[in-house]
Amino acid sequence: MRVPTLLPLLAALAQKVTAAPASKDNATCLPVVDLGYELHRALWHNPDTDNRTAVQTGAQTAICPQGQPVWQAKTMAAIGKYSNPANNFTLEGWVETIEGGMVPPGNINQNATEDCLLLDVHVPRKVLKAARRQDKEGVPVLVFIHGGGGVFGSKDGSGPTRFEPSGILAHAQSTFDQDFVFVTLNYRLGALGWLNSASILADGDANVALLDQRFALQWVQDNIHLFGGSKDHVTVMGESGGGSSVLHHLIAAGADGGKPAKKLFQQAISQSPADVPVATGNPEELYDEFLSILKADDLDAARSMSSAAVIAANAAQVAAFPHTNYVHRPMVDSDTSFGPVIKSLGQGRFDKSVKVMAAHNIFEGGFFFDPQVKTDGDFDGWLKRSFPGLDGGQREELMESVYPAVYDGSLGYVDMNTRQMSVWGESSIDCAFNAIAKASKDKGYAYEFGVSPGFHIQDLSFTFGTTATAARPSQKSLQLAIASFVLKGVPVLEGGKEFPVFGDEGLLVNITAAGAVPSVPNNINQTRCEWWTSIA
């Protein structure tokens, strides 16, 4: 399969920046785009040859200040081990690997800077050439928002997976003889993106991470034509925290009071949307704790601290988050967030003109458990830490009626570990997927990622697999579905058959190791999702 020639360009979201001078070596061979407020030259060009099998990102190494909870860092060994299909998955081996997990060495903030609001634009060469012609219609645009619990991640990738579109583009070209422009973006994380105390709101905005994303989407509206893209054919896609961000933007776009001035996207793909339906932390306590770690008396003092001190304080606060809690979450501001997404979607409060494709994995709760939880008392303590927004009566109802201690497999779990996995995976991911799939059922599509074991984020390497890994049937099916949805608004299977509309029957496509299986029923537990929605 031939790889399209790509020209990724790096664009800063800030309005006043100095463009780096072009070297003599590439001053005449790499294209320049005039954004009006600065000039941008392509970072690299992969020659149009038949034998290239991978595409470099060419992205500037700049990430937003971030941190990773120790509890999650200890799961990385299991994630790495069982991402390799050569390692046979067993539940016992999975739990054992997580129990023995260690925090990976290295500095997560090695390339961190507060000047991080950047985005990358990946452009097929012929599309960029055509952009100079006034009579040439722009191609579709795919904008990707990364996940990471709102505390880590970047536009460049997640772990060994790089967010670059060569695999999806190859399917767009080979199947439809079409191209698209691909955009990835950074947004502020942790305390810098989500602190929502009264002191901050008195002199700023809530949910600045979501505002960063909205600003990037607006940047696409204002500038993507310069790269050959169409502002009227934009698909926004996100995974995990990025997937829930997509839903927040979709809900905001349909709200009377919080509607952006212009339509920012026409289609949406929400993969494994992670949105905890109850409070995960107290904004004032988070603010006070951050100032204490920073050794600052108030907000003015915090703003006078060095960037290095702020970055270190944020990383320290995130590292100490309690087991299976990312703590930071959007607050209701009736602009960027209107509350838990399952509540808004269940009430039909979203932009219904947007075409939607929703997705989840079959083992979403896989690493969201504490192996030290052994008794019902431990379980109650875990609920308090993971879902502090649950009151005593709700925890009791959850333990006795919704997720009772029945370990025969009839309720979807076989022991205390898998009981926790079910609670976390369903409440925070599966039910959000279920909500958007049902809300958009009449013209929406859905798939589940069923490659074993199907844990959260496992699908990323298939979404962004390159042509070097294109032999995997599951990757072919997934990338073809994404490419066809971006280009045509309808995902298709190999052979050209369209996905079933989700509809009243709740039909979806299962992406398995052998390829796509169409018209599979939605197996999400509706009763438990209704309970989570009722208390959201």
In a domain, 62, yes or no: no
Ranges under pLDDT 50 in the chain = 1-5, 13-27, 49-59, 258
The answer to whether 127 touches 228, Cβ cutoff 8 Å, is: yes
In a domain, 74, yes or no: yes
Mean of the per-residue pLDDT values for the chain?
A: 91
In a domain, 59, yes or no: no
Q: How far is CA 92 from CA 97, 371, 438, in A?
A: 9, 12, 34
Question: Hey, which residues does 408 pair with through a beta bridge?
Answer: none
The answer to whether 281 touches 328, Cβ cutoff 8 Å, is: yes
In a domain, 3, yes or no: no
Q: How far is CA 238 from CA 183, 210, 331, in A?
A: 12, 13, 20
Question: How far is CA 177 from its chain centroid?
Answer: 28
Could you give the count of Cα atoms lying within 13 Å of 94 in the half-sphere of its Cβ?
A: 22
What dihedral angle (degrees, nearest 10) is formed by the CA atoms of 338, 344, 349, 355? Answer: 110
Number of domains in the chain: 1
In a domain, 4, yes or no: no
pLDDT for residue 159: 80
The answer to whether 129 touches 304, Cβ cutoff 8 Å, is: no
pLDDT tens, residue by residue, 450-482:
999 999 999 999 999 987 888 899 999 999 999
In a domain, 427, yes or no: yes
The region that residue 412 occupies, defined by phi over 0 for left and psi between -120 and 50 for alpha, beta otherwise, is left
In a domain, 61, yes or no: no
Q: 3-state SS of the chain: helix, strand, coil percent to 5?
A: 35, 15, 50
Q: How far is CA 11 from CA 155, 183, 226, 367, in A?
A: 12, 10, 12, 35
CATH number at residue 33: 3.40.50.1820
- The CA distance from 8 to 58, in Å, is 6
pLDDT for residue 4: 39
The answer to whether 227 touches 124, Cβ cutoff 8 Å, is: no
The answer to whether 7 touches 40, Cβ cutoff 8 Å, is: no
Q: Given CA atoms 285, 289, 295, 300 in this order, what sign does their dihedral have?
A: negative
- Residue range of the domain that includes 338: 9-46+68-535
Q: Spell out the SS3 assignment of 331-361.
A: CCCCCCCCCCHHHHHHCCCCCCCCEEEEEEE
Helix (H) or strand (E) run with residue 161 in it = strand 161-162
Tokens of 360: 């989840």
> Which 3 state secondary structure label does DSSP give 463?
helix
The answer to whether 431 touches 532, Cβ cutoff 8 Å, is: yes
pTM here is 0.90
Residue type, 524: I
Omega within 30 of 0 (cis) for the link into 388:
no
